[in-house]
Amino acid sequence: MSTIPGDDRFAQPVPGQVETTPGDPLDAAADRPPLRVVLLDVNETLSDTSALAAVFEDAGAPGHLAPAWFAGVLRDGLALALHGSCPRFAEVALAGARTALAGAGVDPGRLQDAAVSVVEALGSLPLHPDVVPGLRGLRDRGLRLVPLSQGAAGTTDRLLAAGGAGDLVEGALSVSDAPGGLWKPAPSTYAWALDQVGASPAEALLVAVHPWDLDGAARAGLSTACVDRAGGSPYPDVMAEPDLVVPGLDALADLLR
């Protein structure tokens, strides 16, 4: 697992092309093709979900419930995917929001509207400060940037456009459009995403903050980069280690310079 500063995998004398170097952590083999596509997880990786605390407070619930609610949405969606179910992200999120808000004592007559406001807020969250400069830096190196989210593609597109990143990425991909609609880390979903962009696993890098997402992508043959903005926490040793760990997307872009 590499950390910044510097990684030979990203030493690149030719603009628009990332060259591999023998023995570097993103090289599975000497003939590994150049990196062409960066798949980007969206929720928490690009969007700053800390803003959800204020949404919970406006709904009459403690703000500290927001992280637990979002973690529960991921847990429930992944659990349903194990059964081969195809839940829409918004459906799972809304059900979890109703449960969380009811447990916090929100008036039953306001519960549905409050839950909807929480879910809708996901599409209007700010981006982390490192996202736009990081995406711009990656684009400057000739890489294709493709969001891949559990949520709806339209929601992702609006989120990035509002945050000033809409012109830096290609149209978002949603797991709901993949065969079976299975959430990441289903191997078939990563394969579908790569098929949509015409890239092989060896030509792609997944960027995320979630170890389970990075682990799934690694098992599907992609290179991986963990965005660890808080820093200092040990990576779960039951997961495949990411190839790179960076404190922000702008740091990942710097590796290409």
**pLDDT value at residue 31:** 66
**pLDDT value at residue 85:** 82
Q: Which CATH class is domain 49-124?
A: mainly alpha
Which among 125, 144, 126 is positioned nearest to 135, based on CA atoms? 144
- H-only helix segments in the chain: 52-58, 65-82, 89-103, 108-121, 131-140, 153-162, 187-197, 211-219, 249-254
**pLDDT value at residue 187:** 95
Query: Across the strands, what pairs with 245?
Result: 3, 226
**pLDDT value at residue 172:** 97
Sheet holding 37-40, edge to edge: 2-3, 244-246, 223-227, 204-208, 37-40, 144-149, 173-174
Q: How far apart are the first and last CA of the chain?
A: 20
Q: Which CATH class is domain 2-46+126-254?
A: alpha beta
**pLDDT value at residue 255:** 77
Which among 215, 224, 182 is positioned nearest to 85, based on CA atoms? 182
State how far the alpha carbon of 112 is from the alpha carbons of 96, 97, 109, in Å: 11, 9, 8
Q: Can you give the pTM of this predicted structure?
A: 0.86
Q: What is the largest CA-CA distance in the chain?
A: 63
| Delimiting residues of CATH 3.40.50.1000 domain(s) in the chain | 2-46+126-254
User: Residues 60, 106: contact at Cβ < 8 Å?
Assistant: yes
- pLDDT below 50 — which residues of the chain? 2-25, 27-30
One-letter amino acid at 236 equals P
| Delimiting residues of CATH 1.10.150 domain(s) in the chain | 49-124
